[in-house]
Amino acid sequence: MDRFDNIPEVALAWHRAGKGAALATVVETWGSAPRRIGSQLAINADGEIEGSVSGGCVEGAVILEAIEAIETGRQMLLEYGVSDDDAFAVGLACGGKIRVLVEPVGTVLPLEVLDALVVARAERTAVAVVSDLKSGARLLVRDGYADRFRMDRSGFEGDDRFVAIHNPPLRMIIVGAVHIAQALVPMARIAGFDPVLIEPRGAFGSETRFPGEVILDDWPDEAVAQLGLDARTALVLLTHDPKLDDPALERALAADCFYIGALGSTRTHAKRVERLRASGFTEGQIARIHGPVGLNIGAANPAEIAVSILSQVVGVLRGVTP
């Protein structure tokens, strides 16, 4: 999964600085490509770049075409056939084809569309840029592509309309800086999540145990309210302590986070369910909780439990039920 990048922001800054800019976007490719559909490369008129559209085998050609597109102000739809040898050199099993759409900023890609995209990204608002390659129209939309937003999947709608999905970065909010969290935080980061720890107990949430990580020492319900829980957020509760877990859990059940998981045995979870029923939560709301947290893989230590949690989170994100 691609981590949140700043490619549209860089393109906008270059354009405003008078350097000229274009966005190159992967619109079609083979299944084993190192960069997924929707991946982007920003190029300016001086040949500076940010991002990538492949493993390095076509970037040079795309940059040259993009500089020409900036000069002419016209879109380009490029297609490259990658040989087996070239594909192997960049880590692919076999060759194939890749199509790249190049859009100069200010001519093909309207400045107001790019500016609105950058604002939406800063506000953690999911949006899509719809490019009609036949008419030349570019439109920023916030709905209408529910499956694409859920699966984080850009692609063509028909022959000429490309939908580039721009979801907010994935976050994992972890309540409880316990041993499992020490394994889960780096795993989540590798998988493309921005992890945040919530831990009011100073001995647990120390810089020594979690060097360089974001740790909030507020009470969990106050911390999640501050952070916000949206459709790109997973909440994982690891404290085993109802005084800490339950207030955050109640916030989550009233929010739109895509995943809620709570550590504890089947017996512990049954008690949790009873407390939530007594607090007035419906069976449908309670059913959103994955408890005991994680997939049943026979995990025997904290690192294996972290693997089971991350696997379940990704499965729920992608609409798969293992």
- What is the strand order of the sheet 233-237 is part of? 215-216, 194-198, 171-175, 233-237, 259-262, 289-290
DSSP string of 146-174, one letter each residue: HHHHHHT--EEETTTEEEEEEPPPPEEEE
Question: What's the token pair of residue 212?
Answer: 């360089």
Nearest-angstrom CA–CA distance, 75 and 72: 9
At 79 the three-state DSSP class reads: strand
pLDDT tens-digit readout, 301-317 = 999 999 999 999 999 98
pLDDT tens-digit readout, 111-129 = 999 999 999 998 889 999 9
Q: Is the CB of residue 217 less than 8 Å from the CB of residue 205?
A: yes
Nearest-angstrom CA–CA distance, 78 and 60: 13
Percentage of the chain surpassing pLDDT 90? 72
Q: Is the CB of residue 50 less than 8 Å from the CB of residue 24?
A: no
The amino acid present at 164, given as its one-letter code, is A
Please choose, from the candidates 88, 78, 84, the residue with its C-alpha nearest in 3D space to the C-alpha of residue 96.
84
Question: What's the token pair of residue 40?
Answer: 């982007």
Percentage of the chain surpassing pLDDT 70? 92
- Rounded to the nearest 5°, which phi and psi values hold at 187? -65, -45
Third-level CATH fold of 171-317: Rossmann fold (3.40.50)
Question: What's the token pair of residue 149?
Answer: 């937003």
Instruction: Provide the residue ranges of all domains of the chain, joining segments of one domain with +.
Output: 7-166, 171-317
Residue 38: the pLDDT is: 94
Q: Is the CB of residue 291 less than 8 Å from the CB of residue 242?
A: no
